[in-house]
Structure 1
C-alpha cells in the first residue's frame, strides 16, 4: 500500500460520552475518549489508514479533525429524525436565529 496517497477508506464513528479535558477547543479525534476512539488513536495515530468522521448528537456529521468544545448531548429519536430530514447539507447545530423547531439543542 502506497502510504503517500490519501486514505481511501472512510470510518464513521459515533461520538463518545467519555471526553477528555484539555484546551477549550481540540480535535474531535483527541476529545472523544471512548474505547473505539482510544483504539483508533492507537492503531492509526497518523490517520494514514482511514479518513475519520464523527456523528454527534450536538454537532451532526463532521470530520474527526474538526476542533470541538467539551459538551454533553445525547442522541434521541427526535434529534435523529431532524438530522435525517435535513440531510448532510443542513447546518448542525441549527443556528439560534432560525424559528424554534421544538428540538432542544
Structure 2
C-alpha cells in the first residue's frame, strides 16, 4: 500500500533565468528546492517502486498554489501580506480539493516563509483526523533541515561550511558563503550600527532581528549605499542564496 504524502513549499526569490517555461521545481532555485530536487533524484536512481508517493505543490506569489510540474516563466513578484490575502480564496479552495478529494494523504508537510501564511489561513479545517501534519518553523536554515528529515526520515548529515558563491556587483567581485554573509550581518548588529537595522520595505531576518539589504550589500562590496538601489541589493543577495523579505 502506498503511503501518500503532500508537501507544500513557498516559492523562492532565487529562480532560474532560463527563457521559456520550466516546471516549478526547476524554475525555483532556493535552498529548499535544491533539497527537494536531490531527493527526487535519489528516488529516480533507485529504479524501483517506492513505498512513499510524494505530491508537491508550490505556493507562488504570482500563480497561487501550483503543482511542482506547473510550467512556470521567470518573473519577479514577491509575496506580501496584501498579495497573500488576494490569493487566499483561490489557494484555500485548491488546498481543500487536494485534501478532501479522491486522494487520501497520510502525511502533510507545510514549509512556508512568514509572508505566505495569510494565503493559507484556515487550512486546518480540511485536515482529516488520521493525517499526520508537520509544520516547519524557524529561519530558512532550520526549515531546510526539517524538510530534509521529513523527506529522508533521518536528520541531514553534519555539513561542511557552504561553498562560497561568486558573483559580480557594480564591478566588484563578491565571493562569500552564506555563513560568512550572516556573520557580517551579526557583526553589524553587535556593534549596534543604526544603518544595519534601518529597514524601509525590505529586510534580511538575522537571529530574530531585521537587517537592511542595502547596508549589508555595502558591507559585502565596500560600495556606498548611495551608488546602488534596493532592487540591485535584493538581486545580489538572492544570487548569494540570502532570503530577503518584505517588511
- TM-score (structure 2 length as normaliser): 0.32
Cα distance in structure 1, aligned partners of 2:83 and 2:19: 28
Say how many residue pairs are matched: 85
Name which of 1, 8, 27 aligns with 2:4. Answer: 8
Q: CA RMSD in A?
A: 2.1
Maintained 8 Å contact 2:19/2:74: no
Q: Does 1:50 align with 2:80?
A: no
Match runs of 1:37-76 below 5 Å = 37-45=33-41, 49-76=53-80
Cα distance in structure 1, aligned partners of 2:66 and 2:21: 15
Cα distance in structure 1, aligned partners of 2:93 and 2:17: 29
Return 5+ residue gaps in structure 2 as ranges.
Answer: 45-49, 95-247
Q: Give how far 1:50 is off.
A: 1.2
Greater shift after overlay, 44-53 or 20-29? 44-53
Cα distance in structure 1, aligned partners of 2:89 and 2:39: 35
Q: Give how far 1:26 is off.
A: 0.7
Return 5+ residue gaps in structure 1 as ranges.
Answer: 90-105
Kindly indicate which of the two structures has a greater share of residues assigned to helix. 2
Match runs of 1:19-98 below 5 Å = 19-45=15-41, 49-86=53-90, 87-88=92-93
Q: CA offsets, 1:21-80, max 9 Å, x none?
A: 223101000110000000100012257641110001101001010011000101111111
Structure 1 runs (4+) deviating above 3 angstroms are 46-49
Maintained 8 Å contact 1:61/1:88: no
- TM-score (structure 1 length as normaliser): 0.70
- Based on CA coordinates, which of the two structures has the bigger radius of gyration? 2
Maintained 8 Å contact 2:10/2:59: yes
